[in-house]
Amino acid sequence: MSNDSDFRCGFVAVIGRPNVGKSTMINAIIGSKVSIVTPKPQTTRHRIVAVHNRDDAQILFIDTPGLHNHATKAMNRMMNKTAANAVSEADLVLFLCEANRWTKEDESALNRVMASRIPTIAVLNKIDKVHPREVLLETISDMDARGDFKEVVPLSAKHGDNLDRLLDLIPGFLPLSVPLFSDDMKTDRSEHFHITELIREKLTLSLRQEVPYGLTVQIERYVEEPEGVAINAIIWVERDSQKGIVVGKGGTHLKRVGRESRLELKQKLGVPVHLELWVKVKDNWADNEKELLRLGYESP
């Protein structure tokens, strides 16, 4: 254990375009699901702080929505602003991209990060998909030339490869400080938030491509009972046609999502869970700033 005078604590913003593995990396570091993960872009919609404790530092990772172009709806603009705000409050930025792919959205996201002039480490994720090794060495060199990086770290968040090296580098960029969170905290988000996200994850994984972006989940009732927990949640969609898809023929799809959510919530909470889900329509909620704020999205 380091002396208290040597202890460091600070915020590390994890930034990149959608679907590069930001949440997967943070979950791997924390050792539990603090952010939901799906193969679909823009799964992360909110700023989530994940707490990683070491003997010499407390690292506060800020998981952010993916920076994306064509932010046509208010929700997308809010998500981009949330990511940009995370950069401005960070002591260090981890810029994530895929080791085997570079896109215009990567370039756009990197430009925003470089403009902030915050110390930045480039993280090349998904190195398990890069073969042979000579190609990876060339990719690292190409990445180093793209910006003013303190380090370029190749890793695989999915398999946990090289995460230790990244974690060893981070404390040197953080300020001297006492811990800001207690040792037993893994995230700054409430249990209710994680319940809504878990349900949304199950929906996103099981629905066709266009529907998940038009839905959000809200807890209406949460009651601790002698035999467990009773939860009522509303799934808001934008159109009647989406409601039919979410419910499914004879309610089969909603029942399946409810069952999968209940089983994971039972494991997460450690008690029996009674979960009831309703699907309701709120026209164009994702492009209405007032509704977005009411549903817990951050103001732009």
9 occurs within a structural domain: yes
* Predicted local confidence at residue 214, as pLDDT: 86
Q: Give the model's pLDDT for residue 46.
A: 92
Last residue of a domain, one of 173, 206, 237: 173
CATH code at position 77:
3.40.50.300
> Tokens representing 125?
């994720």
Residue 128 covered by a domain: yes
The predicted model scores a pTM of 0.92
Specify whether 270 is located in the same domain as 155. no
**CA 290 to mean position of chain CA atoms:** 23
Whole-angstrom distance, CA of residue 18 vs CA of residue 26? 15
| Residues 159 and 107 grouped into a single domain | yes
Does a structural domain hold residue 109? yes
**Would you give per-residue pLDDT tens digits along the chain (300 residues)?**
445 679 999 999 999 999 999 999 999 999 999 999 998 888 999 999 999 999 999 999 999 999 888 778 899 899 989 999 999 999 999 999 999 899 999 999 999 999 999 999 999 999 999 988 789 999 999 999 999 999 999 999 999 999 999 999 999 999 999 999 999 999 999 999 999 999 999 999 998 766 778 899 999 999 999 999 999 999 999 999 999 999 999 999 999 999 999 999 999 999 999 999 999 999 999 999 999 999 988 765
pLDDT at 299: 67
Is residue 239 located within the same domain as residue 104?
no
Where among 173, 207, 239 does a domain terminate? 173
Which residue range is the domain that position 234 belongs to? 191-294
CA pair distance 81, 87, nearest whole angstrom: 10
Residue 40 lies in a domain: yes
Phi, psi of 136 (to 5 degrees): -65, -40
Ranges of H-type helices in the chain:
22-30, 74-88, 104-116, 133-146, 163-169, 191-206, 240-247, 252-269, 289-294
**pLDDT value, residue 266:** 97
Please indicate, yes or no, if residue 178 is contained in any of the structural domains: no
* pLDDT score recorded for residue 3: 52
Instruction: Yes or no: say if 219 and 225 are a contact pair by the CB < 8 Å rule.
Output: no
- The domain tally of the chain equals 2
Question: In terms of domains, do 135 and 211 share one?
Answer: no
> For residue 258, what is the domain's CATH number?
3.30.300.20
Domain boundary among 117, 145, 173: 173
Q: What is the CA radius of gyration of the chain?
A: 20
CA angle centred on 155, ends 182 and 71, rounded to 5°: 80
Same domain, 102 and 169: yes
Q: So what's the pLDDT on residue 2?
A: 46
